[in-house]
Amino acid sequence: MWPATARLYPALLRAGVRVARCHDAALAGALIEGRDGSQPGPAHARELLRQVQTGSADPAAAPAGPAGLAGLAGLAAPAGTQQSLFEPPHPGETGQAGPDDLLAALIEVHAAQLAAVRADEHPDRFGLLVTAESAGGIVAAEMALAGLPWRADVHDRLLTELLGPRPAAGLGRPARLAELVAQISAAFGAPGASGAPGAPGASGPRRRPVNPDSPGQVLRAFAADGITLPSTRLAVLSGIDHPAVPPLLEYKELSRLHSAFGWSWLDTWVAGGRFRPEYVVGGVVSGRWASRGGGALQIPRTLRRAVVADPGWVLVVADAAQLEPRVLAALAGDRAFAAAAAAGDLYAELAGAFGGDRAKAKVAMLSAMYGGAGGEAGQLLAVLRQRFPAAAGYVEAAARAGEEGRVVRSVLGRTCPPPSDRWRALTEEAADPEAERDPQAGRASRARGRFTRNFVVQASAADWALVMLVCLRARLGQIDGINRSHAELTAGRPAEHGLDGPGVDGPEPAGLGLDGPELVFFQHDEVLVHCPARLADAVCAAVAQAGRDATRLVFGATPVAFPLTVAVVSCYADAK
């Protein structure tokens, strides 16, 4: 047990120390605070741990290797004090928290957290969530160090094909973007970048060039042509008939690629053939992961061509098909819906309720989960309510809870944020029954209802995906003699809680066991494993079993199937 995996584990990994299991006080505390509104444990103990969790004490100051495990306990600064800039902590000095102080604080907080787990309405479920969250912290650190295989030369070639040669530093836009700027200006009757005249037939005085990066200039240019737009968003522009729209849409797409994943990104984030993002476990309120810098969870499909396995290795790409609708089927216990979800294509099975139209079945399902009720969506949703009342009722009950200001929880007990004070002030009933209600109140209530409706499904899907991930980590450790025992996925929980399994005899490997399969990427419902080609079949089997393990642990005995689509490829772009 330690204050924070994200702060402490990377240094140990770089020193060749691989942790089998942990209890992450920061991640566990966040889950409990989300449920209770406060952290458990004495205030002085929580403050000492916070010093390490937030970086007030630097874990890099600890010795490397196994001997450093003891040194980690001396990293906390004394509560209520501030060290000088660049001054390292000196455990044992007068007024300085030493190893015994931090260890005592950690023990106190750990005991308080375990008591808080036991006090939950469903302690087994919530305990599983705390376990999986801590295990997820281990996986995140290991994936960041292993890195996603990334061919910088392929990335550079793709950028050059799309944008033109890399411009010299500070010398403006790439060639293709400059061409599009000229086309946009010409379409609005302004001279292009080269000084060429504006669009043929343009009337009136010559206009100034239009900067497509300036929404104000774009809106004014459209207004000058008699087109009033509320914004320059893609959805708005796509419905406009004007010669500037095609180059403007292309410019937006390529400009976004250049700014978010261009040559500067490549220089910053790719080294030694690997992209190493920093994952944030539970970084989204629903429990989904986020990333800190690098846009790891938003890699454009275009650039997936640069994710290439090492020679003799492959990428095993697995994603859970139609995960969230299946999660709703399992949550609601709707027998008819569960029977449909047991099939390979859920939407195709639901199509019978919509005259055989799969697209309409999908619209109805998404409307049920995300709260769409306008136009045709409302009619389709009515059909869904009639055919699958338990499933529709489950999300509608969650929506009502949100509208009434209550909180909802995922299947394992992750709690949604409570409404803000501003929301409560806006939506509360006036003391005077004759007073008119603020017209914004109903809109705010419905918006929160849509949030909670979505939360119960999305957060439960995140529960399943997290448990699947840590189960997969354990099973990968049993492949090809790489000793990463099944117990590694646990976070201080005994075997009877279901996440433990048989270990593998033998010494612990140094580092990350780079001769065996490694988890290298995870986003929402998709996971990538980089492995030697000879182990691909074994990895595929591990993926399938991890999915079954997660279903059993999260949902128990359910008839709902959670199939994982698996592809073995050399290049990520070839997986779909």
User: What CATH number has the domain bearing residue 467?
Assistant: 3.30.70.370
**Which token pair is 72?**
């980690």
Residue at 84 is within a domain: no
- The Cα-based distances of 263 to 41, 171, 177, 540, 573 in angstroms read 47, 14, 14, 35, 20
470 and 412 assigned to the same domain? no
In DSSP notation, 8-40 reads: HHHHHHHTT---S---BHHHHHHHHHHHHSS--
Q: Are strands 313-320 and 564-569 parallel, antiparallel or unpaired?
A: antiparallel
CA-closest candidate to residue 412, choices 374, 458, 464, 372: 464
Do residues 64 and 10 lie in contact, with contact meaning Cβ atoms separated by under 8 Å?
no
List the CATH number of the domain containing 246: 1.20.1060
| pLDDT above 80: residue 331 | yes
Q: 53 is written with which tokens? A: 């969790």
The CA distance from 274 to 481, in Å, is 25
Residue 97 has pLDDT above 60, yes or no: yes
Residue 343 CA: distances (Å) to CA of 467, 561, 563: 23, 7, 9
| Mean pLDDT calculated for residue range 121-129 | 96
For Cα atoms 325, 342, 499, give the angle at the middle one, nearest 5 degrees: 80
Closest CA to 164 of 153, 155, 173, 152: 173
Residue 503 pLDDT > 50: no
Q: What pLDDT was estimated at residue 442?
A: 81
Residue type, 245: V
Strand partners, 314: 531
What pLDDT is attached to residue 338?
79
Of 407, 430, 458, the residue that ends a domain is 458
Q: Do 162 and 251 fall within a single domain?
A: yes
Query: Which of 324, 261, 254, 257 is CA-nearest to residue 296?
Result: 261
The pTM (predicted TM-score) of the whole model is: 0.82
Judge whether 229 lies within some domain: yes
- Does 498 score more than 90 pLDDT? no
d(CA 28, CA 10): 19
Q: Detail the DSSP E strand segments found in 116-182.
A: 148-149
* 506: in domain: yes
Question: Mean of the pLDDT values across residues 356-377?
Answer: 70
Model confidence at 388: pLDDT above 50: yes
The last residue of a domain, from among 266, 299, 314? 266
Please state the domain count of the chain: 4
| Domain presence at residue 451 | yes
Band of the pLDDT at 63, cuts 50, 70, 90? very low
Q: Do residues 373 and 384 lie in contact, with contact meaning Cβ atoms separated by under 8 Å?
A: no
Interacting residues of 456 by C-beta distance below 8 A, sequence separation 6+: 331, 394, 395, 398, 408, 409, 410
Give the pLDDT confidence of 163-220 residue by residue, as tens digits. 999 998 767 899 999 999 999 999 998 755 444 444 444 445 556 889 999 999 999 9
Residue 530 bridge partners (DSSP): 315, 518
pLDDT band at 80 (very low <50, low <70, confident <90, very high): very low
Residues 61, 89: contact at Cβ < 8 Å? yes
Same domain assignment for residues 528 and 495: yes
Instruction: Write the DSSP string, 300-333.
Output: -GGGGGG-BPPTTEEEEEEEETTHHHHHHHHHHT
- Scan for tokens 């279903």, then name that residue: 551
Tell me: do 100 and 112 sit in the same domain.
yes
220-236: per-residue pLDDT in tens? Answer: 999 999 999 999 998 88
Domain boundary among 435, 458, 481: 458
Q: Which domain holds residue 403?
A: 332-458
